[in-house]
Structure 1
C-alpha cells in the first residue's frame, strides 16, 4: 500500500456511494453520530452503499481481529487473516507485540453470516506485518519480505505444526513494495508477484532462483516489480512480466489469463490495471537505461499519467485501464454466479486509497482489451475505509478485508487495533457453504466448478490423484459444448496435467474448438508442457481471432525452431497497423531473435515502408536489418518532424553498429540544414561518434547556436562537453543569475573547467557582474562553488560590499547550509559578516540549521516554539479555501503541485482531498517525517570531490542519477563521481512549517487542501 502524504490520525465516518450506479442500497445514514461513535465497530455498516441488489454485512470486526493486510477463504468458508499490529514501529513510534503478528482463522459456525469463533493459527516474533496468505489445504503460504514461509497443519487441528522457507532474499523487511501474495492457478501452478523493492528471488538456502532461461531472477536482468509462476513446491519459477512499480496481487482466470493492478508514484494519477502479457515489459522505468519516467527522452507523452509508464516507447505493453489516483490492493476474477451478471467473469478489485471496491467489465479489443468501471462498494466520505483485499467465498459471495485506518500504508499506521471483514452478496442471501463430495470423480468435478480457489485446489489435486478413474467425468465436462467454457477450461487443465497423461489429443481438441478462449488455453497448455509448440502454432498461425494469433506470437518467445522465423513473419503480416497489443506480442515473440525473424518478414513484405502496419514492425524491431528503414522514416521530409519523433525514439532501442552510421548519414543528407532534424539526430547519437565525424561536429555547432540561452542549450553542451562554449555559459550565468538557467550554466561552466573565467569576473571591477555571478553560483551547491563564494566572503582582498554580498549567499544550497555551520563553529567569520552569513540560511529547509546559525548572532535570544494547534481548535475557525490557496501558493507550492500550479518535488496534491480529511492533512503538515511515501525519500549524497547534497533520487541508471531538490530543480550526477549515498531518516519537507502560520492560516490551508478532490 502507498499514499500521497504521511499517515493521518483521525478521519470522518465513511459513506460508500457508488457513483457509477443510479440505483443503490444503503444502510441508515450516520450523520447524527459523533466522530468517536462513527468509528465504533457496531456502527461499521452505517452509511455503506452497495450496487443495486447487493447488500453488505459485517462478517467480523475488532476486537476479533486487527489490521488485516490480506485474507484467504478456505473451502469451509472460513476467513484466514494476516494481521499487521507490528507494522513499521520504528517509523510509527507505535507499541509492538513481542509475541509477533498473528495468522487468524475466523469462522461462522451457526450460519448467520457472522464469525463467532477466532483461532490463532500461528503467532511468532518472526512474523512482522505479513502481506500475503494463500491457503492450500494443509499448507499455508505467508508472504513476508524477505521470506515466503510455508506453514503446515499436519494433524488438522488449525494450528501450524511446522514451517519452512520457500523463498528468501526478497527486498527489505516489512516493505510494502516487497513480496505479495500467492494464488492458485487453473493449471495447478502458483502465481505471485513482488513490488520494486523485491529485486531478487532466492531459494530457502539463499541460492539464486533461476528463471525459464536459466538466468538468476534479479535486478540485473529484470527491472522493478515482477510477476511469477511456479510449481506448487516452488520449483520451475518463470518470470512472466517485469517493470511494474508495485503490483499488489495477481489474478488468473480459468483460461490462464493474468490480471493485476499497479500503483504509481504518489500523486501522479497513474494507477493502472494490467493484462499481463507473458514476458512483457510494463514501462515503469526506461527499458534500456533504467532511467525514471521523468527523465528527458524523445517523444515523451504529453500527459503525466501516461508518461509515467513510457507508453510511447516501443516495447511497452499497453495498460488495460488507468484509474487515476489511488492505492490498489487485492484483486480477483469473479467466475461465480451468485452476483449479478454485470460481475460474472469480470475483475473485482480493491483500492484502499480511494476507499472503493470496483468491478472492471472487460471487453475484447483486437489482441487486447478495453474496460469500464462499475462500483460495488464505496466509502467516499469515510477516509478510514481501506479495503485491503478481496476473495470469493465457496457460496459465491465476496469477502472484503478492511484495514480500517486513517491512512493507507506507506510505512505508517494510524490505528493498530481496528479491522473489519465484510461480506457482499445479494440481499437475503445466507452464508451457506455448499457441501462438496470429493470421494467420487463426479463430486470432485462438481467441486472443480466452485468459484472459490481453495475448493478448486482441493478438487484439482483430488482428481489428479484419482488418475484414470477421473478421466470420464472430466471428459464429460470438457466435451460438453453447452457447458460454461470457463468450466470446460478447468476440466481441460486437469486432463492435460494428469501424471503420465497423453496431453496431445486434448490440446488438439482445444485448438480446434470454436471458442477462441479454449483455443488459447490449448496453446498455453502446449507451452507449459513443451508439447510440440511449433506444430500447434502452425495450426493457429492464420486464426481469424487476433487474440489467438497474439498467443501464437508469444509462444515463439525464445523458441529456437528453424520454423519459428517464418511463422513469426506470417503473424507479422497480419498486423493491422493499429493494434498495439498485437504489435507488442510480436515484439515479445521476436526477443533475442530479431535478425532472423525480421529477415523472414522482409522476404514476405518486400517493402516495409508501404503501410502503417509494416512501419509499426520497423518501429518495434531491434535489429540492424531494420535500421535503414527506420532512418528513412525518421528523415522523411514529407512528414513534419514532430510526427517523426516516435521513429527517432526507436533508435534508442537499437544498439547495433548500423545505428550510428545511418544517423550521421541523415545529417549529411540534410542539405537544407534543417536544425530541428539535426537536433533529434544528435540526441540519438553517442559522444564518440560525434567526436569522430566532421559532419556531426558541424551540425552540433549549428544546433548549439540555434538553441542559445535555453535549457536545450545546456543539455547539448553538457551531453557533448563543448568547452568552447565556456564564455557563453559565463555570460548566461550572469544574465540569468536568479533563474534556474543561470544556475545550470554556472554549474556546467565549473564542470567544463571554466574556473579561470569565473575568477576573472569575481576579481573584476564590474560590481553588478560579480554579484550576479555569485547569485548563480549560490544555487549550484557543489564543494567547488561553495569554496568560491566562501573565499570571496572571507578574503580581505575584496571590497566589503562584495564580501557582504557573498557572505549572504554561502548558505543558499544544502551543502552551503552545512558550510555556514562549519565556518561559524570554527570562528572563521569576522564579526561584521556574521549577520550576513546567518541570513544566508534564513530560508533553510532544515529548521535546525537556521536555529543553530542564529545562535551565533550577538544578543541572540532563543524563541520558544509554538505548540501545534489541535484539530478541535482549528475546527472552530471557518476556513476559506480561496485564502487557503493563497497560503498554498506562498508556502507549499515551492515543493508541491496542485492542478497546474506549484513545483514538482514532493507528492502531487491535485486530488489529496479524495484521500484524506483535514485531520490527516494537519498531521502531515505538523509531522512530515511520520510516514514518507515510497519514492520520495530524501538521500544524503557525498561526492568524491568532498561536496555533499541532499534530495530525492528521481532516476538512476548504471552510469548516472538524477537528483531532485526542493523547489523542483534537478541535477544529473555521474555515478563514478559519487562517493556514497545514504537514505535520510527524516522528510525533506521542513519540520515546524506551521510555526510561521496563524491558526486562521492553517484553517484556510486545510480548507483548500480538502477541496482538492477527484473530479
Structure 2
C-alpha cells in the first residue's frame, strides 16, 4: 500500500511542511494524465461493479458477501463449519486526514451461507470496538487476533465472546503506522502461525502462546503452498517465495547466517484496465523533469506495482489443473489481481506471468480495492475488497494524491461499503459445505487426502485442536499410503501437532518414492526429541537423497544424530553438493552443540573456510546466552539501548533491513557486516541524514532497492542525539563491533551538508 519508496526509518517520517508524504527533492507535482481521460469514480452497487471486471477466459466473479453484510473486509479465517470470520478495518482513512483512525471502530463478524447457494446471508457481530484489526485465527474455544497494538486472545462459546480479550503475547507488535504492522496469522502445516511484516511466529501450547523468531517476511499478507513453504510480498513486489521450509536453517543460534532462500517470483509489471492517475507518485514522469516514468507516457497506466497486497497460492479443487499452485496477488491502487506461475528448479523458485500482458482480473472501478485472497471451502477463491475511495495512508500521502482523491470525491463516503467476491472456474465443480465440527474421527482423517487444500488444512487443524488421540492409529497408517502423497505429508504434521510424532512414522515416510514426502519427513525429523532422533538414526543414515532439495534437508537432519556415521554422511553431502547455496547452512544448523565433535572427526577433510569459521563461532557460543550489547558500558551502552529501541520500535528500521540486520529483499540491504555501517562513521551519518538512491554494493554483493531511502533530515521529530543513537546501535549489534557515534558529529555534518536540501546520495557520491 505504501507507494514508491521505502526507508531505514520509513515508519516515523513526519514532515514539517505540507502533506506528510511530500519530499523536498521532488520539485514538480504537476498532474500528468489529461483531465479529459480521467473517468469519474462514483460509488457503484455490487451489480454495477461486476460489470466493470475483466477476468481471464474460463472464469467468473460473483458476490459472496456485500454491504450491509460486510464493511471494509481486510482479513478472514474459516471455522470447521465453513463460516467466515471476517476482520473489518473500520476507521482506516475515513477522510483525507485520517480523522478517527485512532478510535476503536473495527469489528470481527461471522458470515454464514445458511441456504448453501454460495452467498452469505447471515451476519453476526462477534466483537467490536477494535482498533484497526488486521487478522484473525479461529480456535474451538476462542479467537486469536491482531489489532493495532497487540496479539490478543478472547474465549468464545460458539459465535458469542466469553469475557474480555487479553494480550496473548506481550510486545508481539512493534511500533509503526497502519501500513507497516504485523498481519497474517497464517496457520502453516508445521502448526505455527506466520505473519507478514514480522520476524516472529506464534504457536499455542495448552493455555499459553509460544513466540519464536523467524526470518522477517513481507508487508501485507502471507500464504503457503502444499509443502508448507511461505510466500509474501511488499508494496513494490508482487510475490516472494521461500525455497526452504520456515526456520529450517535456524537450528544453530551461534551465528547469524546470511543465507537467503527468498526469491522474487516474476516481474512486477502491471496492466490496468484504466488510466491510473491515483498513484501516490504518479507525478514522477520524464515530462515533469524526472529521470523515469511511473506511468506509461502513452497510456497513462501504472508500469510497476506499487500496492501489492495479500497473496494466495491456489490449492482448491474448482480451477483447471494448470491453475493449481499458481499465485494470485491483488494490487489495490490500480484495481487488479495478478496471476503468477511458480516453477521450481534444484535450488530456487522462479515465477512468470501466464497471461502475458493481461491481468487475471482488472476493474475500471477506482473504488475496487482488493486487499487479500483466500482459498474458500467450496474450492473457489475469495477476494476481499475494501471498496473504499482512499487506500493510501495519511503518513505517506502526497499533496498530488490528495488532490487526485478530492477531485473525484474519493474521500467519501468513509464507511458502509465492502465486498467479498467469489472467483470460480465456469467449467469446474464446487464443493458442498462440509461441517468438520460434527464429523467422526475416521472421516476427518480421510479428509487429509481430499483434493481441496482447504479440506486438508481443516482436517489437520480439527484433529490437532481437539487433541484427537483416537486418530493416532489411522494417522500412522496413512503415513505409509503412497497413493496419497499430500495425505502422507498431512498425517506427519498432524502427528507433530498432537505431540505424537515418532521415529517409526518418519522412517515409514522416508520410504516414499515421492520427493516431497521425503523432504517433509526430513523436515519433520528436526522436530523430534533426542531419544526419537537416536531411534531414527538408522533410517537417516540409510536414506539416499533423490534430489538436491532432499540433500539439503538430509544435511539438516544428520547433525543432531551426532555420531561418526552421521558426520561421514554429512561430509559426503557437503562435497557432492558444494555449489548448492543452502547445503552448508543446513549442515551448520543441524550441528548445534555438535560443532566440535564434527570438526574433530572430519579433521582436514573439511576445506570450506566459511563453514569452519561458523563451527568455531557456534562452539564458542554454545551454552552462552547471546546478549545484545555485550561488552558495552556507561554512555556507550545507554546510547546503544536507545538506538535499539528506535530500530525495533518507533523507527521500525527492521521493516526494510530485518530484525537481525540481514536485509529485506528488494527493500533494504543488510546492515550486519556492512562496510557502510562499520567503516566510515561520517559517511554513515551523511547517508542517514540525506538518504540514498540507486544500487549499492555491500560486502561485494550489489543490491538494487526498489525505491529510494529518504533521509532523516526530513523528520523534525528526530533529534541529532536520536540519529547518533541509531547509528551507534547498528554499529555494535549482530556481528558489528564499531565505536560509538556522538550527537555532535551529527550536528556538524547536518550543517556541513545543509545545501543538499534532502537530496539523497548515490553510492558513487559517497565513495563507492
Please, what TM-score do these two structures have when normalized by structure 1?
A: 0.50
On the 8 A contact 2:328/2:337 being kept in 1, the answer is yes
Structural mapping, 1:517-916, within 5 Å: 517-530=516-529, 531-532=532-533, 535=537, 538-539=540-541, 542-555=544-557, 565-577=567-579, 579-586=580-587, 588-589=589-590, 597=598, 603-604=604-605, 608=607, 617-618=608-609, 622-623=613-614, 908=707
2:737 paired with 1:959: no
Residues 955/107 of structure 1: CA separation in 2 closer, same or farther (3 Å cut): farther
Q: 1:112 aligns with which of 109, 117, 121?
A: 117
Match of 1:68 in 2: 73
Q: Paired residue for 1:48?
A: 53
Within 5 Å, which residues of 2 pair with 1:171-210?
171-172=174-175, 175-187=178-190, 189-195=191-197
> Aligned residue pairs: how many?
590
**Secondary structure of 2:240 counterpart:** strand
Relative distance call for 1:87 and 1:173 in structure 2 (3 A) is: farther
Structure 1: gaps of 5 or more residues = 9-30, 199-224, 289-312, 609-616, 627-714, 722-743, 752-779, 783-812, 815-893, 899-903, 910-931, 962-971, 982-987, 992-1015
Structure 1 contact 316–584 (Cα < 8 Å) conserved: no
Question: Matched residues in 2 for 1:949 and 1:573: separation?
Answer: 46
SS of 2:310's equivalent in the other structure is: strand
Q: State the alpha-carbon separation in 2 of the partners of residues 957 and 623 from structure 1.
A: 24
The more displaced of 386-395 and 460-469 is 460-469
Distance 1:422 1:516, change over 3 A: same
- Displacement of 1:569: 2.0
Q: Which has the higher helix share?
A: 1
CA 1:33–1:247 in structure 2 vs 1: closer, same or farther (change >3 Å)?
closer
Q: Alpha carbons of 1:194 and 1:497: their partners in 2 closer, same or farther (altered >3 Å)?
A: closer
Q: Equivalents in 2 of 1:406, 1:90: separation in Å? A: 9
Residues 1:275 and 2:243 aligned together: yes
Give CA-to-partner distance per residue, 1:83-127, whole Å, 9 cap, x none. Answer: 222237899332469562111222333333332222211102xx1
- Cα separation, partners in 2 of 1:395 and 1:270, compared to 1, 3 Å: closer
**Matched ranges for 1:253-292 at <5 A:** 253-255=225-227, 257-263=228-234, 272-279=240-247
Equivalent position SS for 1:554: helix
Note the alpha carbon deviations across 1:70-92, whole angstroms, 9 max, x for none: 12233444322212222378993
Alignment match, 2:24: none
SS in structure 2 at match of 1:528: coil
Instruction: Say which of 302, 318, 321 aligns to 1:338.
Output: 318
C-alpha deviation, 1:389, in angstroms: 1.5
TM norm structure 2 = 0.64
2:137 paired with 1:134: yes
Q: Could you give the per-residue CA deviations for residues 626-672 of structure 1, whole angstroms, max 9, x where no partner exists?
A: 9xxxxxxxxxxxxxxxxxxxxxxxxxxxxxxxxxxxxxxxxxxxxxx
The 1:562–1:184 alpha-carbon spacing in structure 2 relative to 1, beyond 3 Å, is: same
Residues 171, 471 of structure 1: alpha-carbon distance in 2 compared, 3 angstrom cutoff: closer
- How do 1:410-421 residues align onto structure 2 when only pairs under 5 Å count? 410=393, 416-417=414-415, 418-421=417-420
Shift of residue 426, structure 1, vs aligned partner: 1.6
Query: Could you tell me how far 1:410 is from its partner in structure 2?
Result: 4.5
How much does 1:160 deviate?
5.3
Does the 8 Å CA contact 1:566/1:601 hold for their aligned counterparts? Answer: yes
**C-alpha spacing 1:354/1:233, structure 2 compared with 1 (3 Å):** farther
For residues 362 and 142 of structure 1, the distance between their equivalents in structure 2, rounded to whole angstroms, comes to 30
In the alignment, does 2:89 pair up with 1:84?
A: yes
Q: Which has the larger radius of gyration?
A: 1
CA contact under 8 A between 1:351 and 1:388: conserved in structure 2?
Answer: yes
- Matching residue of 1:148: 151
Distance between the aligned counterparts of 2:215 and 2:170, measured in 1?
A: 20
Counterpart contact for 2:185–2:193, Cα < 8 Å: yes
8 Å CA contact 1:392, 1:398 repeated in 2: yes
Secondary structure at the counterpart of residue 379 of structure 2: coil
Question: Residues 354 and 588 of structure 1: is their aligned pair in 2 closer, same or farther, counting only changes over 3 Å?
Answer: farther
1:433 aligned partner: 433
| Distance 1:98-1:279 versus aligned 2 partners, 3 A rule | closer
CA–CA distance in 2 between the matches of 1:596 and 1:331? 44
Change beyond 3 A, Cα 1:366–1:582: farther
Task: Measure the CA separation in 2 of the matches of 1:7 and 1:943.
Answer: 21
Paired residues of 2:374 and 2:383 also in contact (CA < 8 A): yes
Match of 1:369 in 2: 349
For 1:529, what is the secondary structure of its paired residue? coil
The whole-number CA distance in structure 2 between the counterparts of 1:185 and 1:569 is 32
Instruction: Determine if the alignment matches structure 1 residue 59 to structure 2 residue 64.
Output: yes
Instruction: Give runs of aligned pairs for residues 350-369 of structure 1, distance below 5 A.
Output: 350-352=330-332, 355-369=335-349
CA RMSD of aligned residues (A): 5.0
CA distance in 2, matches of 1:719, 1:436: 59
Q: Is the 8 A contact 2:196 2:232 kept in 1?
A: no
Partners of 2:347 and 2:549 within 8 A in 1: yes
Equivalent position of 2:481 in the other structure? 480
| Correspondence for 1:444 | 444
The one-character-per-residue Cα deviations of 1:427-462 (angstroms, maximum 9, x if unpaired) are: 275674235584433322234445465884466444
Write the mapping of 1:182-331 to structure 2, written as runs, cut at 5 A: 182-187=185-190, 189-195=191-197, 225-227=199-201, 231=205, 233-242=207-216, 244=217, 246-255=218-227, 257-263=228-234, 272-279=240-247, 315-319=259-263, 321=265, 323-324=267-268, 325-331=305-311
Flag the 1:62–1:378 CA change in 2: closer, same or farther, 3 A.
same
For residue 404 of structure 1, what is the aligned residue in structure 2?
387
Unaligned runs of 5+ in 2: 6-18, 22-35, 269-304, 398-410, 618-674, 696-702, 748-753, 758-768
- Could you tell me how far 1:343 is from its partner in structure 2? 2.7
Q: 1:345 to 1:106 in 2, by over 3 A?
A: same
How far did 1:129 drift? 0.8
Once residues 96 and 374 of structure 1 are traced to their aligned partners in structure 2, the CA distance between those partners, rounded to angstroms, is 39
Distance in 2, matches of 1:518 and 1:158, equals 40
Change (3 A) 1:278 1:79: closer
Aligned equivalents of 1:954, 1:2: Cα separation in 2? 24
Write out per-residue CA displacement over residues 120-147 of structure 1, whole angstroms, 9 at most, x where no aligned residue. 11102xx111111112334221112431
**1:302 match:** none
Distance 2:527 2:394 in 1: 38
Structure 2 counterpart of 1:390 = 373
- Pick closer, same or farther for the CA change 1:279–1:445 going to 2, 3 Å: closer
Task: Call closer, same or farther: CA 1:563–1:354 in 2, change over 3 Å.
Answer: farther
Give the direction of change, closer, same or farther, for the CA distance of 1:443–1:59 in structure 2 (3 Å limit).
same
1:468 to 1:959, Cα distance in 2 relative to 1, 3 A = closer
